[in-house]
Structure 1
Amino acid sequence: MRRPLRTAAILAVAATLVTGCGSGDDWSRPRPERSARGTLGPGFVEPSSSPTPESTVTPRPGSWDGVHPPKGYRVVLLTTGDDRPAKALVAAVGKWAEEEHADLRTVVADHPSDLIPSITRALDMGPDLIVSAGNDLVDPLALVTANHLAQHFLVVGAELAEPTQNVTAVNWPGAAFRGEGLGASSAYDPGSFTAERCADAVRAGVAAVLNDLTGIVIRVGE
């Protein structure tokens, strides 16, 4: 008689643990709007006026350091490619998420035919922010983002030629891919994707999104 009772107790405890873990990871639940922690430092943008859509701003180095996402900020890293720049960006996003206690999930497009479906998968997850890493995603994002204006996107190490208000980009000298057949400029330098530069790009971009400075291009490292 004791074995069935003991088995039932174990199963009950296991079910409780699974439910508890699952509830914390359930992105299907709606969540209230939560603001950034901290504020932008002097020199991120001109205090007298907000940047116009599609404009380029060059923040003062480190002016983004005081901004942090709310704990549990939901981020999907959308990535493709195994080249040095893509790997450096993926590592930078992962390190940022760990340091900031963001809830990070990754969607990888392994094949050219999977680029747009991968964006759809990321959208279906309902994140606070989708971060794109990999030049091959630029043109597919240009096709999709304008139809999902409520979803914030951050493109790091590249930019869309004509971004809508929900798409923010961060690049630097050596990272100038724009898509639409334009490809990379002659100044494109894979070696410029250093750990420090990629980390600054992620932090500056997220800081801009959290402060509603979107639809612009941010230049770091100048």
Structure 2
Amino acid sequence: MRSRLVAVGALAALLLSGCGVSDDWSKPHPAPAAVGVLGQGFTSTPPTPEATITPRPGSWDGVHPAPGYRVVLLTAGDDAQTKTLMDAVKDWAEQEKVSLKVLSADDPAHHTDCIVDAMNLAPDLIITAGSELIDAVTVVTASHLDRQFLVLGAEVAEPTVNVTAANWTGATFRGAGLTTATDGDPASFTPARAAAAVRAGVASILSGLTGIVIRVP
């Protein structure tokens, strides 16, 4: 298996082989915090666990990560949908000056191992892109409630409090045996939707609304 770990944003770019890598975020950094608050229309009441909410477009724009925020983007697959999600995360990280590492899980037999490697980097948030990862995310996350995950363009069927999803109609893949023909529409993966999903998902997590599904237009 060959995987890539790339640090962008506040860190210099790295290229490493294997998904098990050493943690070079050695310096202390502040606990993750939100700068700003969610706007009117994000949600009228605190959502219940596993709820699906449809925020008003742009109601997440006022929330930003505080300086020093550390994110691992874990990807699987080389399809156009996954690339669109990856590009959206990288653009967001650059704009927000987030410290980002990209870990590519190329071997399906080792997806769970790569999720563990991502957790071992001790990021503030792990973002997953690629429907191939959903089953592994489902297996791993319930045993690691201290790690926050954001699933883009898909969702976990029964998320725990640490797994938040941001998607849209046509991007609701839920794992092997749980997905219908209408849950996946490659044409729905537009840069605008992917960008909105990243910002809405991160804003929700930073604001303490986790373990839910966020639907963007």
2:39 alignment partner, one of 38, 41, 54: 41
**Partner in structure 1 of residue 204 of structure 2:** 208
Shift of residue 178, structure 1, vs aligned partner = 0.3
Query: Does the Cα contact within 8 Å between 1:176 and 1:185 map onto a contact in 2?
Result: no
Q: Secondary structure at the match of 1:104?
A: strand
Q: Equivalent residue for 2:115? A: 119
Kept in 2: contact 1:40–1:63 (CA 8 A) = yes
Q: RMSD of the alignment, in Å?
A: 1.4
Q: Which has the larger radius of gyration?
A: 1
State the AA in 2 paired with 1:104: L
Note closer, same or farther for the CA distance 1:181–1:28 as it changes in structure 2 (3 Å cut): farther
Deviation at residue 184 of structure 1 after TM alignment: 4.7
Q: Tell me, which stretches of 5 or more residues in structure 2 are unaligned?
A: 1-11, 13-22
Provide the aligned length of Structure 1 versus Structure 2: 196
Identity, % of aligned positions: 58
Contact 2:29–2:68 under 8 Å retained in 1: no
Mark the CA change 1:187 to 1:35 in structure 2 (over 3 Å): closer, same or farther. closer
User: Per-residue CA shift, 1:60-115, capped at 9, x if unaligned?
Assistant: 00000111111221000000001111000000000000000000001101111121
- 2:132 is aligned with 1:136: yes
Report the equivalent of 1:150: 146
Give the TM-score, by structure 1 length. 0.85
Q: What TM-score results when the alignment is normalised by the length of structure 2?
A: 0.87
Give the Cα–Cα distance (whole angstroms) in 2 for the partners of residues 143 and 210 of structure 1: 24
> How many Å separate the matches in 1 of 2:31 and 2:183?
40
CA contact (8 A) 1:177 1:185 kept: no
Runs of 4+ in 1 over 3 A off after TM superposition: 28-32
Alpha carbons 1:172, 1:219 under 8 Å: kept: yes
- Are 2:98 and 1:102 equivalent residues in the alignment? yes
1:4 paired residue number: none
1:179 alignment counterpart: 175
Deviates more, 1:102-111 or 1:186-195: 186-195
Shift of 1:186: 2.2
Aligned to 1:27: 25
Match of 2:190 among 191, 194, 203: 194
Code of the aligned partner of 1:121: D
Change (3 A) 1:122 1:187: closer
Of 60, 64, 70, 1:68 maps to 64
Q: Is the 8 A contact 1:81 1:134 kept in 2?
A: yes
Q: Which amino acid aligns with 1:138?
A: I
Residue deviations 1:115-161 (CA, integer Å, cap 9, x gap) = 11110110000000000000010000000001110100000000000
Aligned with 1:147: secondary structure? coil
Give the deviation of 1:181 after TM superposition. Answer: 1.6
Counterpart for residue 10 of structure 1: none
For 1:41, give the aligned amino acid.
Answer: G
The structural deviation recorded for 1:29 is 4.3
2:78 counterpart SS class = coil
CA distance in 1, matches of 2:179, 2:40: 34
Instruction: Name the structure where helix makes up a greater proportion of residues.
Output: 1
Amino acid at match of 2:158: E
Conserved? CA contact 1:77–1:130, under 8 Å = yes
